[in-house]
A and B are shown apart, each in its own frame.
Chain A
């Protein structure tokens, strides 16, 4: 009772290639541009060359960007209904040619026809349908936003057409035009897609597709004519792009690597867990950024699970990708095969117990499903993303330990939890640092749900409303201006003689702290008189403050209501000391009495606003396509560094700190360097308002030096910087190492008085985590 061969025909795909004479140009401005410089598209299962592809030059990149620029105004003007119609047409076309896409993808990439036919291509169509809807609804559902402009998109080889759809559908829906570069290993379906764009009459220049190697991607990312880069690929390349574009003001979304945990609790349905593992790591040859590649099994059931896995492993079938009866095809290229092999050799050399499928085809880029048992977190194969069908397994004792092990990684893309206990599942899910958490399932995707990472897995989301935010900007473009909104100050103020020498200190962990340096800085008023002294903060103070902020975990666990109560209390206490704060502004900053009163009242109003939001800026339940509840939860970033603007010494402090803590972040704040006294006065307000120690930490001193330390710090999850263009670039550059979420002003001035981006502060203070909870009695 054997299965026998069941090959899918490649006839139509070959005819498509032949029709193009096995040679493809670049699709720029609605035309095919042929090139002399070419490279082959290779079938990794057979080594056969499928076609020759064009290597774009920097002139081609330029031409493509210019075409997109030229097409932009008309595309924006086309309006929602027309854009929706085009997206709908693309969805229909993908469906109509679904088998051609599926076969071509399998030939080009090596993945099984089952996957392209049943998973990739249906998801592509779904993505275009869903975003046709968003195009139609943009004016009502995203009325405060507009297109960004020209978008550069660079996609990987593991889900070639699916990643194309994740990039193109939202970009077009929101009125952007684009240049997309597929991976050099897998460009064919993107070129077929270009043909489809052409056939549906998409205006020329709206979608441009250029092929080539990494240098083409780099030229695209660095092109001054694009306003946004969307990249999916390795963390290494993602970091290069971020550094290269630091300070440029280009909006960036990065979907990078992962080493996602797959956590099995003792009450899970173990046979279903085994199939979950198959879908997690032996799907797409393990070349999945969110693959559940680290198995964490509760000690009490680990042996039983391991036995089941070993048995299941031997039932997998690796073979010709076009055979309808296989589980795994070929990995994408000889290079990738080499990478995987070298990792597995390392694992073997480390002495880990290894199990592999015995029977795999020879020739072609095939690698057997592999299982390492009883590995430890210190092992290379546990830490590094292998991007192959290699599972590493270890045990845990308690759910607390499972969470620690799960988070013991630089990545944070996804996690899968298996338990029949909903209390346990919903307790653990929010504690895992990952953008997607699947409960009792894995590797399910849908256009209505956001996908993206925490930590070095990148930032930004794709899919859902949160994904659209990556392709729009606030409609109000005057929120940030070249000229400061600050009040005029007088240079003739006099300091009031204080009864006693008052020495503001740092504020760390809810306690006043002397600067580690032992030095103080004079604060001068506009008349040049000494208005007071503050501590000169240094990197040690930043270290202490971050430690205190990290240790103060409880704040985020409060309910929104409880946080609101504390924040309202801050307003109450500030209001009680209004006069003192106003005097500080007049005396130390040269404010007029009227302006001081205005800044105070706006500050109190601002606190009220964000207290109000604390229990209202909530998530969504996404309407995804499988039977489940998909919870899109807004989670605080964690520890957020805030570098306050120089102007508005009080409002600039309140306007940043309060929205951040309203969302549950703990913050390390560097107040205005020239006017820090309103901020240091403020810690007494915090002290009297039940703000837990460590939630707000204040470090005074040289702004740029301290900002640099914050941006470099590995244990700071996000940073907001309001300062110079130079400083903005510095912060973006330095944030790259740990992939901090950064928000900078590029030297522009925010309108703190009217706060036009009120809600944006909340969005920037949060990550969206999608938790998938399938159900069924």
Chain B
């Protein structure tokens, strides 16, 4: 990740910035529900937005049966996400996704597959997805992943610390993780599906940012509820307030459950409305997704040809 922006140096633990937060779920849901009705993109604008969406995808495989073989396929797809004839028709010479995202064990295979492309490898870490290992083990895992060639680390937080309001402990955990990351950029997964209230989501976002996260991320993809617009609204508003306070832009990554091009557009609209155009690129925004790309490819082919597309016409990951 080649950030032009300065990296987040964090803040000392300062509960005064988040203690007062009170998120009203009904009001947040109303905003989230009305937003896709207030803004829309059509035709060439939509095609352009979808191309941008592809460039923001962390193309992901996080399964127990991952092998060198399917990771290699994933990497190939990451480097060539859209059929060349479609790109040509769109007048778009080259395009890759934002990164590939794999388990620690698969980093070496990904590295091999990506060669000198320079496409970042993101590794999920810290006992992903549940995070139920000791802090020492977590930090060790991060270091080993960085060593193995991951330039982005997606950590999970200890949800019990959020549930029990142990904010200072959470701060310490995230801060130590950030130190362990070194130059690698850190995305902090809140696992919002396991956080009982939106108010706690907002507070956990604040603590994660204060502790030096480069990105905050909704979910592992393994919880029963993953990235939603309401939860995103809460997290990106925290990002906005943090930016107003510190002048530092934190990235946002919704992950899990985003499978359709239309959903992706809704997320981009939300980012544009709440944070602004500065965030609409892969330095500050990522989708954690595996099947989203396929739907976007179909929509792009429809735009180019005027015909509804079929999945088999696009290379699989």
Interface residues, chain A, with chain B CB atoms under 8 Å away = 1-6, 114, 117-118, 267-269, 271-273, 275-276, 279, 315, 324-327, 420, 440-441, 626-628, 774-777
Contact = CB atoms under 8 A, between A and B. Distances in A.
Nearest to A275: B31
Contacts of B260: none
B91 interface: no
Given A5-B42, A272-B31, A276-B27, A114 B37 contact: yes
B27 A441 contact: yes
12 contacts: A4-B45, A6-B40, A267-B20, A268-B22, A269-B24, A272-B24, A273-B27, A275-B27, A420-B24, A441-B26, A628-B26, A776-B29
Contacts of A4: 41-45
Contact of B38 (A327, A440, A627, A774): A327
Nearest to B43: A4
Nearest to A323: B40
A1 B49 CA distance: 7
B206 to A, nearest CB: 14
Given A267-B20, A267-B22, A3 B41 contact: yes
Contact of A776 (B25, B31, B237): B25
B45 A3 contact: yes
Nearest to B281: A1
Nearest to A117: B37
B135 interface: no
A775 B40 contact: no
A639 to B, nearest CB: 36
Contact of B41 (A6, A269, A775): A6
Contacts of A420: 22, 24
Contacts of A269: 21-24, 27-28
Interface stretch (B166-174, B175-183, B272-280): B272-280
Interface of chain B, main secondary structure: helix
Given A1-B49, A776-B26, 11 more contacts: A1-B280, A4-B44, A268-B22, A269-B23, A269-B27, A272-B27, A275-B30, A441-B26, A774-B26, A776-B25, A777-B196
Interface of B: 20-31, 34, 37-45, 48-49, 52, 196-197, 233, 237, 268, 272-273, 277, 280
Nearest to B31: A275
A114 B38 contact: yes
Given A1-B52, A3-B45, A118 B27 contact: no
Contact of B26 (A3, A6, A117, A627): A627
Nearest to B49: A1
Q: Which of B48, B52, B237, B273 has the most CB of A within 10 A?
A: B237
Nearest to B273: A315
A628 B30 CA distance: 12
Nearest to B33: A118
A630 to B, nearest CB: 13
B10 to A, nearest CB: 23
B278 to A, nearest CB: 10
A124 to B, nearest CB: 17
A451 to B, nearest CB: 19
A307 to B, nearest CB: 9
A441 B30 contact: yes
B237 A271 contact: yes
Given A272-B31, A327-B38, A1 B24 contact: no
Q: Which residue among A6, A117, A326, A327 has the maximum number of chain B CB atoms within 10 Å of its CB?
A: A6
B27 A440 contact: yes
A686 to B, nearest CB: 47
Nearest to B21: A269
B264 to A, nearest CB: 13
B39 A272 contact: no
A326 B196 CA distance: 34
Contacts of A1: 48-49, 52, 268, 272, 277, 280
| 7 A-B pairs with least C-beta separation | A4-B45, A272-B27, A776-B25, A774-B26, A420-B22, A269-B24, A275-B31
B273 A325 contact: no
A440 B26 contact: yes
B306 to A, nearest CB: 18
Contact of B197 (A3, A273, A441, A777): A777
Contact of B25 (A2, A326, A777): A777
Given A3-B45, A275-B31, A777-B197, A440 B37 contact: no
Contacts of B42: 4-6
Nearest to B237: A271
Contacts of A117: 37
Contacts of B43: 4
Contacts of A114: 37-38
Nearest to A266: B20
Contacts of A3: 39-41, 45
B204 to A, nearest CB: 16
A627 B43 CA distance: 36
Nearest to A278: B31
A628 B272 CA distance: 30
B199 to A, nearest CB: 9
Contacts of A315: 273
A2 B280 CA distance: 11
Nearest to B197: A777
B33 to A, nearest CB: 9
A324 B40 contact: yes
B238 to A, nearest CB: 9
